[in-house]
Amino acid sequence: MDIQKIRTDFPVLQKKWNGKYPIYLDNACMTLKPRQVVAAMDEYYTEYPVCGGRSLHKMAKMVDEKVTASRETFRKFLGAREPEEIVFTRNTTEGLNLVANSLDFKKGDIVITTDREHNSNLIPWQVQAEKKGIRHIVVHSAPDNTFDMEKFGEMMSKNVRLVSMVHTANLDGYTIPAKEIIKIAHDHGALVMLDGAQSAPHKPMDVKALDVDFFAFSVHKMLGPTGMGVLYGKHHLLEELAPFIVGGDTVSDSTYESAKFLPTPEKFEAGLQNYAGIIGSGVAVDYIEKIGRENIENHEEKLNRIITDGIKDIPGLKIIGPEEPGLRGGIVSFTVELPKGGDAHDIAIVLDETANIAVRSGAFCVHSWFNYRKCGAAVRASLYLYNTEDEAKKFVDVLGKTIGLFA
Contact (CB, 8 A) for 1 and 295 = yes
Across 219-307, the runs of DSSP E, i.e. the strands, are 229-233, 251-254, 259-261
Q: What is the DSSP code string of 183-199?
A: HHHHHTT-EEEEE-TTT
Burial of 47 (0-12, 13-18, 19+ CB in 10 A): exposed
CA gap 379, 171 in Å, rounded: 10
CA gap 267, 251 in Å, rounded: 7
Cα 212 to chain centroid distance, Å, stands at 16
CA gap 95, 178 in Å, rounded: 19
Active centre residues (catalytic): 365
| β partners of residue 152 | none
**Helix, strand or coil, per DSSP, at residue 363:** coil
CA gap 231, 193 in Å, rounded: 10
Across 45-155, the runs of DSSP E, i.e. the strands, are 86-89, 110-114, 135-139
Contact (CB, 8 A) for 71 and 88 = yes
Q: What is the DSSP letter of 401?
A: H
Mark out the alpha helices in 156-274 (DSSP H runs).
178-187, 207-210, 235-240
Contact (CB, 8 A) for 330 and 380 = no
| β partners of residue 160 | 110
My answer on whether omega of the bond before 265 falls inside 30° of 0, hence cis, is yes
CA gap 320, 212 in Å, rounded: 28
CA gap 87, 266 in Å, rounded: 8
| β partners of residue 17 | 20
Which helix (DSSP H) or strand (DSSP E) does residue 161 occupy? strand 160-166
